[in-house]
Structure 1
Amino acid sequence: MGRKGEETRGRLLGATQDLIESGGYFGAGVNQVLEASGAPRGSLYFHFPGGKDQLVGESVRRAGHEIGRMVRELAETVPDTAGLVAGVLALLGDRLEASGWRKGCPVATVALEMAAVSDPLQEVCSEVYGSWEETLRDRLAADGHPEPADTAATLLALVEGALLLAKAHRSREPLDRVARRVAVLLQGARR
Structure 2
Amino acid sequence: MAVKGDETRARLIAAARTLIEARGYFGVGLNEVLEAGKAPRGSLYHHFPGGKDQLAAEALAASGKEIDDLIRGLADALPGTRELIEAVMDALADRMEEAGYTKGCPIATVALEVAATNDSLQKVCADAYTGWQRALADRLAADGRTPDEAGDLASSLLSLIEGALVLARAQRSRTPIERARRTAVILLNA
**Could you tell me the TM-score, scaled by structure 1's length?**
0.96
Aligned match of 1:21: 21
Which residue of structure 2 aligns with residue 148 of structure 1? 150
Distance 2:109 2:32 in 1: 17
Moved more, 72-81 or 104-113: 72-81
Deviations 1:14-53 (A, max 9, x none): 1101111111101221111111111011100011000000
Residue type of the alignment partner of 1:56: A
Deviations 1:93-150 (Å, cap 9, x if unpaired)? 0110000001001100110001110000011001111110000010111111241111
Query: Is the 1:163–1:175 Cα contact (8 Å) retained in structure 2?
Result: yes
Aligned residue for 2:188? 186
Aligned to 1:110: 110
| Secondary structure of residue in 1 paired with 2:102 | coil
User: Paired residue for 2:170?
Assistant: 168
What do you get for the CA RMSD once the two structures are aligned? 0.8
Q: Is the Cα contact below 8 Å between 1:138 and 1:148 reproduced in 2?
A: yes
CA distance in 2, matches of 1:185, 1:69: 24
Q: Take 2:104 and 2:66, find their aligned partners in 1: how far apart are those partners?
A: 14
Identity %: 54
Residue correspondence of structure 1 range 47-86 to structure 2 within 5 A: 47-86=47-86
TM (normalized to structure 2)? 0.97
Q: Take 2:42 and 2:120, find their aligned partners in 1: how far apart are those partners? A: 23
Task: Give the match for residue 126 of structure 1.
Answer: 126
Q: Note the C-alpha offset of 1:81.
A: 1.1
| Partner amino acid, structure 2, of 1:74 | L
Count matched residues.
188
8 A Cα contact 1:13 1:58, kept in partner: yes
1:12 Cα deviation after fit: 0.3
Maintained 8 Å contact 1:82/1:179: no
**Which position in structure 2 is the counterpart of 1:97?**
97
Looking at structure 1, the residues matched to 158 and 23 of structure 2 have their Cα atoms a distance apart, in angstroms, of 23
Structure 1 unpaired stretches of 5+: none
Aligned to 1:39: 39
Query: Of the candidates 150, 156, 159, which is equivalent to residue 157 of structure 1?
Result: 159
Residue type at the aligned position of 1:22: A
**C-alpha distance in 2, partners of 1:64/1:129?**
8
- Structure 2 unaligned blocks of 5 or more: none
Indicate the SS of the match to 1:105.
coil
